Structure 1
Amino acid sequence: MLLHIHAVRHGQTYFNRYNRLQGWTNAPLTEDGLDDADRAGRKLAGVPFRAAYCSDTTRAQETARRILSANLTPDRPELVSDMHFREQFYGYFEGQDMSLAWWAAGAPHGAKTYNEIVERFGLGATRDFLKEADPFSDAESDAEYWERIEGGFALIAGDGRLADGDHVLLISHGNTLLSLMHRFAGKGYDLSVRPANGSVTVFDMDTDLPFERALTVVSYNQ
């Protein structure tokens, strides 16, 4: 079956505002972040969602609740929170200033910024380099990250409530949405621009295909 997945980046948090890495840690939504969620809710108010998923972080849950409460269609689905949809885990670098963390990851390889790592080595290297730099080795490697994310999409594909053509709400995270775009988007998307808080990215998901071919990008960062 083909599912239409409306992936929303959660509203702005205080860690977003302070430019700090935020993976599995939680920071509350700012007032702007609540507005981000409400704006996304208005944008998606007429979409008849048959299922709704988010990570088990409070920033994703609060964003999801505000979007679903604004939905004007007759049947609002029950929200499913699951750890498979969490943002990348940054391990020792959770909560640290982003520029300093990416310098620590990239400098041993001659790259001083996140964008430079991506340009020279690919997006997967940002995860592997950060794990190398983590003194506890807790940060997710690229392989560990994708194994978990693929598990989340398997949950959606196996949802018995869904039928061909249904719409699914997914509250996601900035780096995860960017990672999905790098993996599945064709040409014509400016991936130097991170998805904004409260923005909507739409994927069509063919549940009959293996994950590496399952997603087609419909729109990005709207």
Structure 2
Amino acid sequence: MTEIHIFRHGETEWNIEGRMQGFKDSPLTELGKAQAVAARKKIEHLEFDAVFCSTSSRASDRARILVNDVDTPIYETDELREINMGSWEGMSHHEVKEQYAEDYYDFWNRPGCFQMSGAESFHDLKVRSITCIKRISQEYEGKRILVVSHAALIKTLLTSLQSKPLDELWEGPFATNLSHSIVISGVGSQLVVKQFCDEICNE
């Protein structure tokens, strides 16, 4: 059985400023770094065979803090990056809501319908995230893996693996900066969500 532990990155400067991040990057705040140190307690009893993270520094920096072990290989991949928000990236939520009211509404209330030129749809993000996690689970069959990624990707992945519609992906449980999820790959390489942003899933 492959066991994949998934964390969201820590708080960033743009989180505080209320800016849309997506593919663009923003450094971890001091609190964000402290959150990564605190999150170690959730996995300090575990040994990992490999670590995968987004190529965005807010995720890769947290991965290094979480592992705190120079012997564990860390692999950065674009497949684990946040949803591409196109022209919104770097803008404040207020600015986006004013200038792209309909698309902004869809993003947060009807993500399954979100389609904006230059941006990634949640359907595409679903395919990207599931493809990546399946590949990791197959390449590291029977191993324990740590993944550090982003809120929209994590929520889209876990919601989809539970066969829920994309329009429900922003419902709880929420991907806070300390959230810890667990996905396992068992019989037939089927991916099963065992823990969803710190909430244990019922069988």
TM-score (norm 2): 0.82
> What is the alpha-carbon root mean square deviation over aligned residues?
2.7
Of 169, 174, 190, the match for 1:194:
174
* In 1, Cα distance between equivalents of 2:187 and 2:56: 26
Match of 1:49, SS state, is: coil
- Return the offset for 1:186: 7.1
- Return the offset for 1:218: 1.2
Please say if 1:173 is aligned against 2:150: yes
* In 1, Cα distance between equivalents of 2:156 and 2:99: 21
Mark the CA change 1:199 to 1:143 in structure 2 (over 3 Å): closer, same or farther: closer
Please say if 1:220 is aligned against 2:200: no
> Contact 2:13/2:27 (CA < 8 Å) preserved in 1?
yes
* In 2, Cα distance between equivalents of 1:67 and 1:195: 17
* In 2, Cα distance between equivalents of 1:139 and 1:49: 34
Output one character per residue of 1:72-104: Cα deviation in whole Å (capped at 9) or x when no partner. xxx942001011110100011111123543565
Alignment correspondent of 1:10: 9
Size of the alignment, in residue pairs?
194
> Contact 1:36/1:197 (CA < 8 Å) preserved in 2?
yes
Structure 1 portions without partners, runs of 5+: 132-136
Of 137, 142, 151, the match for 2:122:
142
Match of 2:34, SS state, is: helix
The amino acid of 2:193's aligned partner reads V
Of 120, 127, 136, the match for 1:156:
136
> Contact 1:51/1:169 (CA < 8 Å) preserved in 2?
yes
Written as runs of structure 1 = structure 2, the 5 A alignment for 1:107-126 is 107=102, 112=105, 114-115=107-108, 117-118=109-110, 123-126=111-114
The amino acid of 1:67's aligned partner reads L
> Contact 2:25/2:57 (CA < 8 Å) preserved in 1?
yes
- Identity, % of aligned positions: 24
The amino acid of 2:61's aligned partner reads E
Output one character per residue of 1:180-222: Cα deviation in whole Å (capped at 9) or x when no partner. 23212379x992453111221111134844xxxx322211222
- Return the offset for 1:124: 2.2
Structure 2 portions without partners, runs of 5+: 199-203
> Contact 1:88/1:176 (CA < 8 Å) preserved in 2?
yes
Output one character per residue of 1:94-148: Cα deviation in whole Å (capped at 9) or x when no partner. 111235435655527xx84744x23xxxx3223x2xx1xxxxx221123432343
Alignment correspondent of 1:50: 49
